[in-house]
Structure 1
């Protein structure tokens, strides 16, 4: 096992996950409003999607990546509409009276961010560009490629673990009224990301 591929994957996964966008805002809001596990599985959904795209780029599956890139307008439309829906739902949501348990909302939390990340065409473009730039794409050594993808998942998951753990420290110190305002502000920001994605479709060509 070449540890260098694991380290490179960790750095790539962490770097792609870290910038705060709609997923980050959603993860923070859910951690505060619905508890640690819902927040963590929100991030884990994004980490799984990152690993999927890392798999496509790392194993040189150009047919799939080219198809996804060619369908980026449709993916952006779907993702933008879903962001608008999530934004409105978040803004109107009432703070949970208690933290959700692992058997509660974690599945829907995971699925929603996995879907959002997969429908973001910039994700696959980022992985293709990074892997190509580092000479990591289309490797003939599938073991190294697998280690690289594992590193991407662990790096992305590590970022979400750090974020959720940090945010959860403040949950008990925040009142219900403050959580309500966090819901509203987060919802507006997520809705803004969705509208921006939809608006970008009208500026092409």
Structure 2
């Protein structure tokens, strides 16, 4: 029972730490909370959480060929991820925030699209696998004495920890959502889109530069 509690607590901590860095997906969730409402943003985070869980499973299963593939194609993957990120940046630039000031649409299709975009944006950065490996090592998440039910509980806890993070972030951002007018939402779209574009440009330039120098 003690070991089960051990892996659950550490699983929740890993899930939160994977999600917490304010990268592209974090800024996209903030933008969607302000423009579309809390739940579309939460489903975006849920898609990211599923992507993180898949990478955690790959790490836990010890699929070394995945790690070898990422190491061998790190620069190419960085370039592809930067291109995907740039696509989201241009998408934000073209968004019209005035259409999102009404009550958010509760259509399951909308939520599904938010979920998929969150998943794709996170999954397009497989380099996070190395961060997960570091967290697993730091928290001693993989121990030989653990049995299958420990790991089922642990990976479930990772997913729940990630969902807890996105639930909390979207809750607090949604609280201040009513203080933003059309111009504020337009400005936020441009700022977040600009940041994403800069991040993608830096990654693309560095990736191409390192790829050419090989």
- Mark yes or no: TM-score above 0.5: yes
What is the distance in 1 between the residues matched to 2:80 and 2:49? 20
The reply to whether residue 64 of structure 1 matches residue 66 of structure 2 is yes
Per-residue CA deviation, residues 149-197 of structure 1 (Å, 9 max, x unaligned), is: 1111111111111100001111222111111111111111111121122
Q: 1:130 aligned to 125, 131, 135, which one? A: 135
User: Partner of 1:106 in structure 2?
Assistant: 111
Is the contact made by 2:16 and 2:164 (CA closer than 8 Å) also made in structure 1? yes
Structure 2: give runs of 5+ residues left out of the alignment: none
Whose radius of gyration is greater, 1 or 2? 2
Q: 1:120 aligns with which of 122, 125, 129?
A: 125
| Structure 1 gap segments, 5+ residues each | none
Instruction: Pick which of 6-15 and 192-201 moved more.
Output: 192-201
CA RMSD across the alignment: 1.9
Counterpart-to-counterpart distance in 2, 1:138 and 1:45:
28
Q: Which residue of 2 aligns with 1:76?
A: 78
1:6 aligns with 2:11: no
Give 1:188's aligned residue. Answer: 194
Structure 2 CA distance for partners of 1:143 and 1:65, relative to 1, 3 Å: farther
Following TM superposition, by how much is the alpha carbon of 1:47 offset from its aligned partner in structure 2, in angstroms?
Answer: 0.8
2:206 corresponds to which residue?
200
- What is the TM-score of this pair, normalised by structure 1? 0.91
